[in-house]
């Protein structure tokens, strides 16, 4: 099991996604926790590292936990994505590990990782993702 934290940030029916250098697939911003980190600490650190903004901690809210086959890993290795919404300060910008930031809609579903596809379905069903 790969345990990850992710930020769901929607604007006008589109979701913020990132593509790492050398990858073709898009992922929600976030990542793995470091030893001893809480979900909030992981979210704040990963978002700062990936998209160069500061999460406003008082606005963090749970947005669901989703599981799927881990992208690019052996069959049976599952990723669990614990998702949060939150406001932020700063200007979104790709960091050194991120090649591209993109605003994706449901039509872009085939361009994202397996767990993100489940999240896209959930958000579309909720009327949040166009």
The CATH number assigned to the domain holding 41 equals 3.90.79.10
Question: Is residue 115 one of the residues assigned to a domain?
Answer: yes
**Nearest by Cα to 26 from 116, 119, 118:** 116
Give pLDDT, residue 97: 87
Question: Is residue 51 one of the residues assigned to a domain?
Answer: yes
Question: Is residue 34 one of the residues assigned to a domain?
Answer: yes
Question: Is residue 21 one of the residues assigned to a domain?
Answer: yes
Mean pLDDT of the chain: 97
Question: Is residue 130 one of the residues assigned to a domain?
Answer: no
Task: List the domain range (segments joined by +) for residue 105.
Answer: 2-125
Give pLDDT, residue 96: 79
What's the whole-number mean pLDDT along residues 113-117? 97
State pLDDT tens for residues 63-103.
999 999 999 899 999 999 999 999 999 999 999 789 999 99
Q: Is pTM beyond 0.85 here?
A: yes
Question: Is residue 71 one of the residues assigned to a domain?
Answer: yes
Number of domains in the chain: 1
Secondary structure, 3-state, the chain: CEEEEEECCEECCEEEEEEECCCCCEECCEEECCCCCCHHHHHHHHHHHHHCCEECHHHCEEEEEEEEECCCCCCCCEEEEEEEECCEECCCCCCCCEEEEEEECHHHHHHECHHHHHHHHHHHHCCCCC
């Amino acid at each position: 099991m790969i345990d990850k934290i992710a930020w769901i940030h929607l604007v006008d029916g589109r979701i913020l996604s990132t593509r790492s250098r050398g990858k073709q697939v898009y992922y929600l911003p976030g990542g793995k926790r470091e030893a001893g980190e809480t979900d909030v600490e992981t979210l704040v650190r990963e978002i700062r590292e990936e998209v160069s903004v500061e999460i406003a901690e008082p606005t963090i809210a749970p947005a669901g936990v989703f599981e799927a086959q881990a992208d690019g890993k052996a069959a049976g290795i599952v990723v669990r994505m614990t998702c949060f919404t939150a406001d932020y300060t700063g200007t979104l910008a790709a960091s050194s590990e991120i090649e591209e930031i993109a605003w994706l809609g449901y039509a872009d579903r085939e361009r994202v990782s397996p767990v993100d596809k489940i999240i896209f379905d959930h958000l579309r069903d909720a009327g949040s993702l166009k």
